[in-house]
Each structure stands twice: as structure tokens, then as C-alpha cells.
Amino acid sequence: MIELCSVSKYYTSGFFKQKQTYAVRDVSFSIRKGDTLGLVGESGSGKSTIGRMALRLTEPSAGRIVFDGIDLLAQKKPALREIRPRMQIVFQDPDTALDPRFPIGESVAEPLAVWHRAFRHEREDRVAALFEMVGLQPELAGRRPFELSGGQKQRAAIARAIALEPEFLVLDEPTAALDLSVQAQILSLIQVLKKRMNLTILFISHNLAVVERMSDSLAVLHKGVLVESGRTAEVLEHPQDLFTRQLVDAANGSYPFFRNRIISVNE
């Protein structure tokens, strides 16, 4: 469904732009349709940069990205615009997706209007259906973001992201800002939506417990380089790379958190 081939991103700095710093170097992976790939790594390792490049929200410095057989980097603006609705992103902070001035119902309806996906009179029904899908009471549609809890806001941000029925979703630490019980609810919601909509997901997190629960396969990023990847259980049980081993040990060190708290919390 989505494939990254030797993708790099560097930033230039200095007066003559003479200095190059790599945020991401030579990263390759692919995600099959309907699968979830977990991307883990320390802060600053380049996770968000990869997530944004996968959707071409950030332009890679080198490499190739193939989405459903389409060479994404070769597409000109109009063609890219056609593809955009098929891929969406959810950020850690729902406030980046929700305009504070508008009721959340409008924020959820906006993509439908912009992409002409529903006539005005149909939009209300579509929004109600989306609210139902993400577990938000319909009466919350009139509230503005500051009148909602973090969990409710993230549900609204997810509703907006799935409004155009995307096939590929990048989730960039979608629960990192939420407390544990809410985190578990949102993770369950994502799993339900994934099944219902047959979503392909790039799930970014620095929390191994979360990634273990959510992903079929796992890619470990360290200082912008992919150091290990494979089936999730395989990587976590037999980590080959030293950095992965350190991550797993650190996660096991906080044992109750890693094994029990997140993984066994079901709605």
C-alpha cells in the first residue's frame, strides 16, 4: 500500500547553507494494505519527519515513496490533490486539527465541504454518523474545542481525519498527551476503525507497550536511521540491535506499565 525506498531528509543551516544535518537517512519500509506498522524511536529520531514525508507534507531530500502504485514524489500539484483525501494524519495534539473558533461539528464537516463530498443538507447526517463512529455524543457537535476534554478532542480530530474515508492513516503519537484510561479507549477506537474501514496505518510512538498492542510490524528508528524492523512480536522478543534491546529493557524495567497497564486495559 505504501512503500518508502531510501528516503532521506536533511536540513541545511549556516549563512551559505553549507551545513547539512540529517533528520532521516536512507529509510526504507513498506506497509501492506490493512496492516499497521509501528514506528518507534527516541525523541528527535525523525519519527514525525518520516510520517510527514510519507504523506508528502514534508518534501524528502532523496528517495522514493510509492503509494498504492503511485510514485508520490513524481506527482504534480493537481494529481497530488486527487490523492490527498486517500491519506490523512492525526497528531498528538488534537488542537492542531481543530480550529478553536469553530464548533467541532464544523471542523469535522469541513473536509466534506472542501472536497465536495456531500451536499450541504447531507453533511449534517454524515457528521452525525462520524460522531457515532468515534464515540462522541451528537450534542457535543456544537461545542468548541476548549469546552471538551482531551479525549473528546482527539475523538473529534480522528472523526475529521476519517471523514473522507482515507485508506492510509498516519497516527503521530495520537495518545501521548492523554492519561492512561483515556489512552486505552482511544487505542481501542483506532483498532475498531481500522477493522471497520480496512485502514493501513503508520503508528508513531515512543511507547513500546502501545506499539506492541497496535502494530503488526515494527520499525525502530535511532538518530534518523532505521536500525531494526520485522514482525512486532519477533522484534520485541528477539531484538537484534543494541538500541532496540535497550528500548525493550527500559520498557520491561517499568514492568507493570509495559505489560499490564496498557495491554490489558480493554473497554
Using CB under 6 A as the binding rule, the residues of this chain from 164 to 223 that contact ligand ATP are 206
Instruction: Tell me: does residue 47 bind ligand ATP (CB under 6 A).
Output: yes
How many residues does the structure list for the chain? 267
Whether residue 90 contacts residue 97, with contact meaning beta carbons closer than 8 Å, is answered with yes
Instruction: Tell me: does residue 45 bind ligand ATP (CB under 6 A).
Output: yes
The C-alpha atoms of residue 124 and residue 142 are separated, in whole angstroms, by 12
Least separation in angstroms between residue 93's CB and Mg ion is 11
Residue in 177, 111, 106 with CA at minimum distance from that of residue 143: 106
* Residue 43's binding partner out of Mg ion, ligand ATP, none, with CB under 5 to 8 Å set by partner kind: ligand ATP
Instruction: Tell me: does residue 48 bind Mg ion (CB under 5 A).
Output: yes
- Segment interacting with ligand ATP, rule: CB under 6 A, options 45-53, 62-70, 187-195, 243-251: 45-53
DSSP 29: E
Whether residue 27 contacts residue 225, with contact meaning beta carbons closer than 8 Å, is answered with yes
Residue 64: Cβ-neighbour burial (10 angstroms; 0-12, 13-18, 19+): middle
* Residue 138's binding partner out of Mg ion, ligand ATP, none, with CB under 5 to 8 Å set by partner kind: none
Question: Helix 180-197 vs helix 150-162: angle between axes, to the nearest 10 degrees?
Answer: 10
* Residue 11's binding partner out of Mg ion, ligand ATP, none, with CB under 5 to 8 Å set by partner kind: ligand ATP
The C-alpha atoms of residue 151 and residue 237 are separated, in whole angstroms, by 32
Helix (H) or strand (E) segment spanning residue 159? helix 150-162
Least separation in angstroms between residue 170's CB and ligand ATP is 12
Least separation in angstroms between residue 48's CB and Mg ion is 3
Least separation in angstroms between residue 175's CB and ligand ATP is 14
- Segment interacting with ligand ATP, rule: CB under 6 A, options 26-34, 37-45, 140-148, 160-168: 37-45
Least separation in angstroms between residue 47's CB and Mg ion is 5
* Residue 142's binding partner out of Mg ion, ligand ATP, none, with CB under 5 to 8 Å set by partner kind: none
* Gyration radius of the chain's alpha carbons: 19
Residue 16 sits at the vertex; the CA angle it makes with 12 and 19, to the nearest 5 degrees, is 35
Helix (H) or strand (E) segment spanning residue 183? helix 180-197
Instruction: Tell me: does residue 48 bind ligand ATP (CB under 6 A).
Output: yes
- Segment interacting with Mg ion, rule: CB under 5 A, options 12-20, 47-55, 58-66, 235-243: 47-55
In the three-class reduction of DSSP (H, G, I as helix; E, B as strand; rest coil), residue 158 is classed as helix
Residue with smaller CB distance to Mg ion, 48 or 152: 48
Residue at 192: amino acid letter: V
* Residue 153's binding partner out of ligand ATP, Mg ion, none, with CB under 5 to 8 Å set by partner kind: none
Q: Which of 6, 11, 149, 245 touches ligand ATP (CB under 6 A)?
A: 11
- Binding footprint of Mg ion on the chain (CB under 5 A): 48
